[in-house]
Amino acid sequence: MVREKLYQLLPAIYRRKDFFNDEPLRALLAIVEQELGILEADINNLYENWFIETSDEWVLPYLAELVGIQDLNDPEKILPIQRSRIGNAIRYRRHKGTPRTLELAIEDTT
């Protein structure tokens, strides 16, 4: 069967009863585990999309809109420079105060 991660989490008494009843519980948990694998993959993909460096390209226009960047050249075709621009906007907003933000902007332009 599959990894049987869920089945192995069951107490031994239930696995033993299941063994003597032609293992319907094992079959049910195998189906649930397949769906669990799909769900885990989706959650991992969502986690990757939280960060500008690892997010999918389709997420970038939404992140840009959240930080106030509205003039992306072509949202359908995100270039690495646009990704860094969005990342810098996020970084600027994390720092409080104008002097530190200006320092960062000057460092980025030089």
Report pLDDT digits (tens) over 61-79.
Answer: 888 888 888 777 665 666 7
**Shared-domain flag, residues 42 and 59:** no
Domains contained in the chain, number: 2
CA atoms of 59 and 86, how far apart (whole Å): 11
| Of 20-34, 46-60, 79-93, minimum mean pLDDT range | 79-93
**Shared-domain flag, residues 58 and 110:** yes
**Shared-domain flag, residues 64 and 29:** no
**Shared-domain flag, residues 28 and 63:** no
**Shared-domain flag, residues 40 and 64:** no
Average pLDDT over the chain, rounded to whole?
A: 84
- Determine the residue type at 53: E
DSSP letter at 52 equals T
- What residue numbers bound the domain in which 3 lies? 1-48
Give me the mean pLDDT over the 28-38 stretch.
93
**Shared-domain flag, residues 61 and 38:** no
